[in-house]
Structure 1
C-alpha cells in the first residue's frame, strides 16, 4: 500500500455538552506502519494505566510490601471515593505515611490528582520527604518560611508536590502566598498529626479556633468571616492523619469531623446524629492489637520496660554534693519566684532541675550561660544602663515564655538558627531573675559562680555515675553486639555522650541527630545507623526528642532513656520509635536510667515501675501507648516543683492514684465506645483469606518486570539505543550513534553518575543504589513519553496483524477516554472541572459493522504482518469511515455508560445526603438562636465584645437560608455535571486471519479443547483445584486480567498456585506462544508451566510438562516464539501422562 503523510491524532475536547461535540476522526489510516512500532506505542500507552491491569499497581513499584491493614485502608476504604474526605486514625506506628504514599501513587496513576500538599508538624517534614522519595519515588519539595519572602512557592515549577509544616503555612507571609490568584488549587491536602488542628467551644457557645484549625478550614473549603483566612478555592480531597483523634474532649474531636463534611456536620448535634454507616465512609481506626501479618502473627512484638537505678557518687567534690547544692539553690529561687508570681524565673529554675537529672555537663553549660546572663545584668546595673524599674519591666516581658518541654512534643518544635526551640527558650529563660536590686543580683551571681566551679570540677573528674551505669548496659553480653538508641532531652547531654562513647573507642560507630540539623543531615545520620554493623554502620544513635519523632528505627530493638522526659507524651513518643511495624526482633526493650535516691529520681522511678506493673497485671503493653492520655491535664513539671519544695511521698502517692490498671481499662472501654470495637474497619484477621487470595491473583496481573522489560527491549532499537548488560538484572543505556541518547540525559542526570550505570526492571532491595525503571519513575517516564510521542503519527496510520484464531478480519482501535465533572462557576465546589475517571479502551470492529470492547493488551495476542490480501483491500480502505463510527460508539455507548455509573453513585444516596443537610441546618439554626441569646445577655450587661459578636451572629442567621439553599443545590447539581470528557484515538490496526496451514494446526479449537481437558485431568488427579481462564470472561471471573497469558490456574493441595499454558497438536509438531504468553512466562518463571499435549487425535493423547519454559526454551528468543517438539521433549519432566 502507498505510504501516506503522517496523521495527527485528534482529541475530542471537554467543556461542552457531549451531545453537541462533532465527530473528529484521525485521517490517513492506511496500515503502512511497521507492526512493531504500533505494538510498542500501544504498550507504552498501556503501561501508564497500570491500575487497569493490576488494581494494586502501586504495590508493584513501592519499596515496601503493604501489610493487610494497609491494603484494607487504601484499596477498600480510600481509593473508591470520588471525593476523599477521610480521617485515618490507626494506632501509632501502623504506617499511616505508607498508606498515604500508596494512595498518592494510585491516584496519580489514575490521573485523578496532579497537585498535592502535605502539611505535617515541623519535626516530621524531613521524614515525609524521605519516605515519599525512598519508598514511592515521589519527589516532594520542602517549603520553608524564607521561600515566601523571595517568591511564591505555590506557583513555581516544583509546586505540584509540596511539603510545608503546619506552623509555617499558617503564618501570615506563607498563607498570603497561597491566597494569590495565580495559585492553581491543590487536589489533595494531607494533614499529619491532625489532632493538633485544635478547636473548642467556650461556655458561652463561641468557637475558639487555633490558627492551625483556621488553616485547615480554609483548605477544606469552609468559608471564613475573616479576610486573613479566606481562600478562593478548596481541595477536592482531604486526608487527616492522627493516632489520637479523641484527646479526651468530645468537642475538639467533633471539630476534626467538621473539616470532612462542613455542611452535613455543621454542629456537634448533627455529628452525634450521623449514623455509623455514614461515618464508615470517612473514618478508620485500628489498634495495635488488631494488626497482623499475612500469616496471622502480630505485627508489634511485646515491649518491656526496665528501670535501672544508680547512686550518685559522694565526697567533697562529688555528684551528691553538686546535687544538694544545686537543689538548695533551686529551692531558694523557686520559692521567691512563686511568691513574686514570676513564671519565667520558675521556668529558669526548672531548666536547672531538668539538667541536674540529665547530665553533669548539661548542668555545667546552663550554669555557664546563667553566669554570663547575670554578669551582663550586673554590669548594666552598675553602669546605670539598667535600673530596678527597667529590670522589673524586662522581667515581666519574660513571663510570656512558655515551657517548650511541657507544652510541645518533639515533632512540634521549630528549629531556629541551627538550635532546637527548647534551646532558644531556655536561653531566654536563663535571663529571668527574681532579684530587684544590684545587691540581690550580685548575691545570685556569686552563688552561680560557685555552682559553676563545682560542676566543672565534678565533670572534669570524669566519673559520672549515670554514664557508668550506661556503660554496664553497653557491655552486657545480651546487648553488647546490638544496635542501640540513646535518647536525651538536651543537646548538651547529647554532645557529652558522643564524646564519651568516642572515648571508649566507638568514634566511627556513633550517629547523632538533633533538632539543629536540617533534614538532609538527619537523613545521612539515620542511614549511617540503619546500615548493618558489618558494612560500617553505626552501633549507637544518640538523639534528642526534637529529632527523634517521625524517624523510624526498626533496625534496632534496644532503647535507652538517658534522661526521662517530664512530659508523658514525649516519653510515649520515644517508646514508639522502635515499636512499630517493620520491627523484626521478637521483643523490644526500653531501659530507663534513674538516680533512684534523688527527689526527681524517686518520682520517675515510681512512674516507670507503675507502668511496668500495669503491663504485667493486664498482660499487655498498651499502657505504654496511653501515658500521655492518662496524664492529660496533669503536669509532671508541677510535681517536680513540689518535690523540690515539699513532700516527695505525697507526690509519689498522687502518681500511684493517677496511674492504675483500672484507668487503663477504662480508657480502652472509652475508645471502644467512641470508635466501635473495630474502629469501623472490621477485624483485620478475618480479612486475611480474602486478602491472601487477592495478593495471589495480583502476581499474575503485574506489569513488572516482564511487560516493562519487553517494552524496553522492543523500543530501544527503534531510536538507536542499545542495552548494555542483563535486562533481567542490571543494565545501562548506550547510544548506538552519537547524540541518540541526548534527550534522555536530563532524566538520567537526576541520579548520581555511578547509579546511571545500574538500571533495573526488577524490584531492588532498599540497600541497592539503582534506577528502578517503572511507570512513574522519571527516566522511564521520559523514555516512554519520547517513544509514544515520536511514533504517535505512525500508530495512528495503523499496521497489519494476524489473528490465527479468527476466520474474519476486523479493525482494532485503541482509545483513551475520560469522564469529567464540568465546571459550574456559580457554585463554589464546582468552580473548576474535575476528571472523575480516565481509561484506555480497546475496540474490535468487524467487517459486518459490529463493534465490541476488548482489552487494550489485545495486540499482544497477535503477530505482525506486512502483506495485505487483495480480498481485504476494500475493507482496509474503509478504515477512516469505520473509525468515525467507532468514535460514535465509544462516545454514546461506552463513555456514556461510565458517566452514567458515576451519576448513579451520586443519585443512590442523594436523598440520605439531603436529609443529613436538612437536619444539620435545623441544628445550626438552634445553635445560633442559643448563641444569640447568650451574647445578648452579655451585651445587655455592657460587654462590648459581646455586642460585636451579637452582630455577627445575626448576620449568620440571615445568611443561613441562602447557605442551605446552595448546599442543597450542590447535591442536586453535581450528577448533571458529569459527562464524557476527552476522547483520543491512539492507534489503529487491521487484523486479518492467517493463511498459513501450520497455524490452522496449531490453533484448531477442537484439538485445543482436548488438550485442556487432558491437562486439567492431570492436575485434578493430583488433588488440585483448577480454574479454566482461557477466555477473557473466565479469567476475569477468576479475579485475573482479561488475558492472563495462560489457560489454567491451578491451586495445588499445598496451597501453591501455578499457571499452566496448554498447547495441543493432533499429532506432533511445533507450538507457538503469543507475545503475552512469552512475557508471563518471563514474569512467573518457576510458577509458569507449559503443558503440551501431543497426539490429541488419538485415543490416548500424550502430555509433556515443562516447568519455567522461559528459562528452558525461550530465553534466547526475541521475535516469534515457536518451539519444536524435540526441544519440548528434552526439557519436559520425566513423567509422561496419557489422557
Structure 2
C-alpha cells in the first residue's frame, strides 16, 4: 500500500501502472507460479477474468504472506506450502465465489462500462455548465455594484478585490451549510477543470458561500419581477410565443424531497412543448416597454392551463424517473442495513452465549467473578436490544421512503418572446430565417448521417444547443448543429449553441448546407469552437460566422 501510494499520488491525472516482479527460479517464484496456476483454473471455471478481483477469497493476503515467511525460514517444506494453496476447484467453491461477485450492491469492484458511459453522456448533456454559472454570476454580481475582473493570461479565471458588507450577510441556514463569505477573492474560477495544477485558485459554484449569497440576493431583489413576467426578442422567431419556468418535485413518505427539477414549457402555435431553460440565453431584452397582443397576454397569465398540462405531460414522466432511481437506491440501502445490523446482532448473541457459558462454569462461591460476568452480559444484552430496535426503525424508515407522491408544480417565472424587429434582423447578414430552407438543411444532414451508418435523432424543439443527436451502436457519436442557406453566405450561432460547441469539443459538429433551394451542398466542421472566429452581434444576440471562415474550416468529404 505504501509503494502504491508513492506512485499514485494525490492529483495524479494519469493512469498509474504498478508491476510486482518475482524471479521465476526462486522460492517466491515457485509459490507464485502455483498460485497463478490455481487462479487460471478458477478463471476458466468462472468464465470471467473477474476471478482476479476475488483473489483474497481464494488465498487471503495475510495467509499468503505467512506461507512465504514459513518457506523462506524453512519452517515448512515446499510440498507443504504447495498443498496449502492447492485448493480443490469444486462446484461449491465456484458457486460461493460467483455469489460473492454478484453481491456487490454497495460498492461494486466490477464496472459496467456501457452504463457508466451512458451516465457520463447524460450528465454531460444536462449538467449546469460552468459557462452558464460564470455568465449568471458575473452579470448578477455587477448588477449589485460589485467589481469582478478577468485575470490576465488566465482564461476563465477572475478576481474580486472586495465583497461589499451587505452581500457578506448570509441567512443563518445558508451560512451554517456553506460557511462565511470572504472579504476578497484574488483568483476564482467557475470551471473545476481549470483547478488542476493551481493551489491558489478557488472554485465558485453552487454550494460555495459567495455563489449562494449572490443567488439569495437575486431572489430577494428580482424574485417578484421574475414571477410577474418579462418580454424578450428572439431573432429567429416568426411569431409570438410564451415560455414558463415550472418546478416539479417528488417527495417520499417521510415528507423529504426525493427530487426536484426545473422545466421550461414553451407555448407556440396553440400547443405546449417541453424545452430547455437555456433558451433564455439566446434572447435580447427590449430597451423600452412593448405592446403585447391581448391573446398573448391572456395565454401568459393563464397559469391553470400550464399547471394542468404539467400534471398530464411533465410530472408523470419525471415521477417515473425518480421512482425507478429511488427503487434501486433503497434496494441497496435495505440490503446494507439488514446485512450490517444482522451481523452485529449475531456477534452480540455470540458474546451473550459466551457469558452464559462463563456463568455456568463459574464457582458458586466466586461472587465477584459472577457479578462481573453478569454485568457484562447485561450490557451486551442491552446493546443487542438497541441494535434490534435500530434495525426495526431503519427498515420502517426505508419502507416510508418507498412511498412517493408528486408535489404540485410551481410556476417560478414566465416570459413572452416576440420576433425581433424586421429592420434589425435585416441589417445583419446571415440572419435570414426561412423554415423551408431549415427543413431542407436538416433533412440533408439526416440523410448523410444515415448513409454513414448512424442513426440521427432530431432534438430541434428542445433548445438543447444542437439540432440532431447522432447515434452509432446505441452510443452518441455526434452532436450536430445544422445551418441552412438558400444560396451561400455566413451563418449565425446562438449563445447556447456556441457554449455547447466549446464544452463538447470534438463531439460537436456544425453542418452547413448551402444552395438548399437548388442543389443542396453539405459542409462538415468538427469542433467548430476550435476552428472558427465568430463575431458577436449584440443587436440580435448571435455569433456571426463569415462564409470564408466556415469554408476554410470545413472538412473534405470523401
TM-score w.r.t. the length of structure 2 is 0.65
1:473-872 aligned at under 5 Å gives the runs 552-555=5-8, 584-585=16-17, 587-588=19-20, 610-619=27-36, 626-630=60-64, 652-654=74-76, 659-660=81-82, 662-663=84-85, 673-674=96-97, 676=99, 678-680=101-103, 687-689=112-114, 691-692=116-117, 695=120, 699-701=124-126, 703-712=128-137, 714-720=139-145, 721-725=147-151, 729-734=155-160, 743=167, 756-757=186-187, 759=189, 761=191, 763-764=193-194, 766-769=196-199, 770-802=201-233, 809-823=240-254, 833-844=255-266, 853-860=274-281, 862-865=283-286, 870=291, 872=293
CA contact (8 A) 2:509 2:524 kept: yes
Change (3 A) 1:666 1:706: farther
Q: Is 1:1101 matched with 2:523? A: no
Q: State the Cα deviation string for residues 34-82 of structure 1 (Å, max 9, x = none).
A: xxxxxxxxxxxxxxxxxxxxxxxxxxxxxxxxxxxxxxxxxxxxxxxxx
CA contact (8 A) 1:895 1:980 kept: yes
Q: Give the whole-Å Cα distance in 2 for the aligned partners of 1:877 and 1:1056.
A: 41
1:1114-1129 aligned at under 5 Å gives the runs 1114-1117=533-536, 1119=538, 1120-1123=541-544, 1126-1128=547-549
Q: State the Cα deviation string for residues 601-632 of structure 1 (Å, max 9, x = none).
A: xxxxxxxx754432234348968993314578
Residue of structure 2 equivalent to 1:567: none
Q: State the Cα deviation string for residues 373-432 of structure 1 (Å, max 9, x = none).
A: xxxxxxxxxxxxxxxxxxxxxxxxxxxxxxxxxxxxxxxxxxxxxxxxxxxxxxxxxxxx
CA contact (8 A) 1:1106 1:1131 kept: no
Residue of structure 2 equivalent to 1:240: none
Q: Give the whole-Å Cα distance in 2 for the aligned partners of 1:1020 and 1:618.
A: 52
Q: Secondary structure at the match of 2:193?
A: coil
Q: Give the whole-Å Cα distance in 2 for the aligned partners of 1:614 and 1:693.
A: 43
Deviation at 1:804, TM superposition (A): 6.2
1:35-114 aligned at under 5 Å gives the runs none
Deviation at 1:800, TM superposition (A): 1.2
CA contact (8 A) 1:862 1:1075 kept: no
Q: Which residue, out of 382, 407, 416, partners 1:990? A: 416
Q: Give the whole-Å Cα distance in 2 for the aligned partners of 1:1047 and 1:865.
A: 27
Deviation at 1:766, TM superposition (A): 3.9
Q: Secondary structure at the match of 2:224?
A: helix
Q: State the Cα deviation string for residues 924-949 of structure 1 (Å, max 9, x = none).
A: 99x99xx99x9599669987568889
Change (3 A) 1:818 1:805: same
Change (3 A) 1:967 1:681: closer
Residue of structure 2 equivalent to 1:82: none
Q: Secondary structure at the match of 1:1082?
A: helix
Deviation at 1:1069, TM superposition (A): 5.1
CA contact (8 A) 1:1063 1:1071 kept: yes
Deviation at 1:859, TM superposition (A): 2.5
CA contact (8 A) 1:554 1:582 kept: no
Deviation at 1:723, TM superposition (A): 2.5
Change (3 A) 1:784 1:657: farther
Change (3 A) 1:771 1:590: farther
Deviation at 1:851, TM superposition (A): 5.3
Change (3 A) 1:1012 1:962: closer
CA contact (8 A) 1:706 1:1080 kept: no
Change (3 A) 1:730 1:627: same
Mark the runs of 5 or more structure 1 residues left unpaired by the alignment.
1-92, 94-547, 557-576, 592-608, 640-648, 824-832, 1033-1041
Change (3 A) 1:614 1:837: same
Deviation at 1:1079, TM superposition (A): 0.9
Deviation at 1:959, TM superposition (A): 12
Q: Give the whole-Å Cα distance in 1 for the aligned partners of 2:156 and 2:383.
A: 65
CA contact (8 A) 2:485 2:514 kept: yes
TM-score w.r.t. the length of structure 1 is 0.36
Q: Give the whole-Å Cα distance in 2 for the aligned partners of 1:952 and 1:690.
A: 48
Q: Secondary structure at the match of 1:1063?
A: strand
Q: Secondary structure at the match of 1:552?
A: helix
Deviation at 1:1080, TM superposition (A): 1.1
Q: Give the whole-Å Cα distance in 1 for the aligned partners of 2:15 and 2:283.
A: 48
Deviation at 1:1011, TM superposition (A): 0.9
CA contact (8 A) 2:456 2:469 kept: yes
Q: Secondary structure at the match of 1:1007?
A: helix
Q: Give the whole-Å Cα distance in 2 for the aligned partners of 1:875 and 1:786.
A: 31
Deviation at 1:871, TM superposition (A): 5.4
Q: State the Cα deviation string for residues 659-695 of structure 1 (Å, max 9, x = none).
A: 5474275799969725636344599888445544654
Q: Secondary structure at the match of 1:653?
A: coil
Q: State the Cα deviation string for residues 1065-1084 of structure 1 (Å, max 9, x = none).
A: 22345533222112112223
Deviation at 1:1025, TM superposition (A): 2.2
Change (3 A) 1:729 1:785: farther
Larger RCO (CA within 8 A; separation ≥ 6): 1
Residue of structure 1 equivalent to 2:511: 1091
Mark the runs of 5 or more structure 2 residues left unpaired by the alignment.
40-51, 171-177, 365-369
Q: Give the whole-Å Cα distance in 1 for the aligned partners of 2:120 and 2:324.
A: 30
CA contact (8 A) 1:809 1:990 kept: yes
Residue of structure 2 equivalent to 1:350: none
Q: State the Cα deviation string for residues 310-342 of structure 1 (Å, max 9, x = none).
A: xxxxxxxxxxxxxxxxxxxxxxxxxxxxxxxxx
Q: Which has the larger radius of gyration?
A: 1
Q: Give the whole-Å Cα distance in 2 for the aligned partners of 1:767 and 1:1129.
A: 35
Q: Give the whole-Å Cα distance in 1 for the aligned partners of 2:136 and 2:265.
A: 22
Q: Secondary structure at the match of 1:1110?
A: helix
Deviation at 1:653, TM superposition (A): 2.1
